Amino acid sequence: MTVIALSRIEPHLLLELTVSHVEIDPLVMETPLLGLEFMTKPRILLKALAISLELGLRVTIQVSDARTHAHYPSRRGVHYRPGEIIFIAMNHNGHSEVVHVFEF
């Protein structure tokens, strides 16, 4: 569907179209678990990209903690514990929810 939609856009507008933003916090890259995972196996980033494409929403990767449940509820029946890598999607109204838990 994206290709069809993009083919209808005037060529001069494609130059102004942002397709994606990717940024990994430098402190994350220094952590033994995530830094090594991001550098050697891009599975976490690829999963976030796949979820973003599937839902058509911006996805944030985060390590959950004890406060995460209060800030980001899950309306999709996703269950997680502190310390797990979770994917948080933000809809077009600014509401966020946990949509997936990454499994190593």
Domain annotation covers residue 10: no
The answer to the question of residue 12 being in a domain is no
In tens, the pLDDT along 43-74 reads: 999 999 999 999 999 999 999 999 998 888 88
Looking at the structure of the chain, the number of domains it has is 1
pLDDT band of residue 36 (cuts 50, 70, 90) is: confident
**Cα dist from 97 to 13, 57, 88, 91, 100, whole Å:** 32, 11, 5, 9, 9
Across 25-37, average pLDDT? 87
Mean of the pLDDT values across residues 7-17?
60
Domain that residue 31 falls in: 19-101
Decide if 56 is inside a domain: yes
Structure confidence at residue 3 (pLDDT)? 39
What are the residue ranges of helices labelled H in 8-93? 11-14, 26-29, 32-40, 43-55, 68-71
Put simply, whether the predicted model's pTM sits higher than 0.75 gets the answer yes
* Residue 28 forms part of a structural domain: yes
Q: Are 57 and 90 in contact (CB under 8 A)?
A: yes
Residue 82 tokens read as 């502190």
Please indicate, yes or no, if residue 5 is contained in any of the structural domains: no
In a domain, 81, yes or no: yes
Query: Does some domain include residue 94?
Result: yes
- Asked whether residue 11 is assigned to any structural domain, the reply reads no
Closest by alpha carbon to 103, among 76, 81, 70? Answer: 81
